[in-house]
Amino acid sequence: MQKEVIKANIVVFIASFCTLVIELVAGRIMAPHVGVSLYTWTSIIGVVLAGISIGAYVGGLLADRFPRPSTLGWLLFASGIGALSISPLTNLLGAAHFQTTLMVRILILTTFIFFIPSCILGMISPVVVKLTLHNLAKTGNVVGKLYAFSTLGSIIGTFATGFFLISWMGTRNLLLTVGIILIISAMIFGGLLTRKKRSAVFLVISTVIILSLTWVFHGYAFKMPVDDKTYFFEESDYYTLQIRKCLTRDQQTWADALVLDHLIHSINVYDDPFHLDYEYIRIYEELMRWRMNRSGTLATLFIGGGGYTLPRALELMYPKAEIDVVEIDPEITRLAQEYLGVPGNTRIRSFNEDGRWFVMNSADEGKYDFIVGDAFNDLSIPYHLTTKEFALQMARLLKPNGILMANVIDSYEKGLFMPSYIRTLEEVFGRGNVHLVSPKPDQENKGISTRVIVASKSGVDMNDFVKFIGEKDGKGVMSHVMPQERLQQYLAQRPSIVLTDDYVPVDNLTAPIFEERYGYQTH
């Protein structure tokens, strides 16, 4: 009896451990296809819980009808096959195009990919309980231990996956390992090894399936699909990282593109640090050149490093400039130096931590001429970097005439996030002290594009800025400043809210843009 209880505890531990590994891996493996958002994690958690719940119900029926160790064995085996199916299904379905809303798309993908493995794993515990309980007088003791070991497996699976396994093995190799562990557990704990004929057949089938999946399909099923221009691929603790060759906007120069999950975050020409391919980065540079011309100082804090495109250009343009970069992923900093042209003896100071944590704990009050927010994209926006409270923290680090700049991807006519973010900054910097700068004149720029929001506590003399950049006779000028009166008219016409730590529905505000940009229906 005691031996059976120990085996039962091990089985529920393994099943729960693997369930949580799959759940945490789900967020990472789905990110290149649907981004990382509230919708993504809501769908994953809901689908996995639904699978476990229905699995527990069905498992109870199976346990009463087929109260045999072989039932447990086949469930473990099936759950292993289910785990092995996740990676190829993600590659197949993630690339599929179908017209639906963003939330429905995410829900469909997560259901097709993760429901069945979760459901099968949920069937295991009722079968284990049925096989272990022989004395009703000890029901509480046995069931209590099983739940305790099941919960322990979930806890260790959570911490091991988040803190160690993903960064060590990568998501797809981790899923392969989980599948093999479950199939081996089926042979050990399914009562099949004690039956020679069944054992032999089962072992042969299992071995053939495992070797076939590993050898024949590993290249497709357990690797992220990449194109022939990609020469670096890695999964860090934060992103799926790729570096690939691409042509710049002029279609004449080859550059290196840093891809985080599946979005290009920067384009660097290795031998030309002054090549700024993105329009919004050129707007940043024009504002900094104007300020440098007027004040002669340039102390800049970048919230988000990406490929360090502008920081490495500023380092050469202004040898006396102070450049601090807060980049949460240390692997991105390493790649910037190894592949993207940042010199090993750079004067750029990098801080590998969360941007808000850095700002909140910084003692450099009144230090910076510029704070550059470069952590937003159209798939995922770190909501804690958009709030009024964070804007107040950034304002503390700016000089009295310091400037905050942030790039925002939104639709001028339909967007909900951009007007809300402008309103939020106005709460901190004052109405009239927040400006919208676009790479094209207002009348030519009504759709989805990247714009720069500029804010300052003392106000920015945008007329002087326009005059300064206009001295180039309009040649190569990127910044087009929306007149303040027109900006206020725009804000009055668009629904908006002030984003706070207590209420910051960023994912809801940006969902319509994701749907429009990537061709999904909005209703």
**Tens digits of residue pLDDT in 374-430:** 887 756 788 899 999 999 999 999 999 999 999 998 888 888 999 999 999 999 999
| One-letter amino acid for residue 3 of the chain | K
Question: Closest Cα to residue 36, out of 514, 503, 502?
Answer: 514
Are 2-221 and 271-517 in the same CATH fold?
A: no
Phi, psi of 343 (to 5 degrees): -70, 155
Task: Locate the domains of the chain by residue range.
Answer: 2-221, 230-260, 271-517
Q: 271-517: which CATH topology?
A: Rossmann fold (3.40.50)
CATH architecture, domain 2-221: Up-down Bundle (1.20)
Phi, psi of 299 (to 5 degrees): -110, 115
d(CA 478, CA 449): 14
pLDDT above 50 for 484 = yes
Q: Name the DSSP letter for residue 328.
A: S
Question: Closest Cα to residue 261, out of 239, 234, 245?
Answer: 239
Tokens read off for 520: 């999904």
CA angle (504 as vertex; 503, 506 as ends), nearest 5: 155
d(CA 78, CA 195): 19
Lowest-pLDDT choice from 256-265, 416-425, 478-487, 509-518: 509-518
Go through 151-185 and write b for each residue having 16 or more CB atoms within 10 A of its CB, e for each that does not: eebbeebbebbeeebbeeebbbbbbbebbbbbbbb
pLDDT above 80 for 306 = yes
pLDDT above 90 for 437 = yes
Q: What is the pLDDT of residue 523?
A: 37
pLDDT tens string 117-137: 999 999 999 999 988 887 566
Tokens read off for 76: 């473990």
pLDDT above 50 for 171 = yes
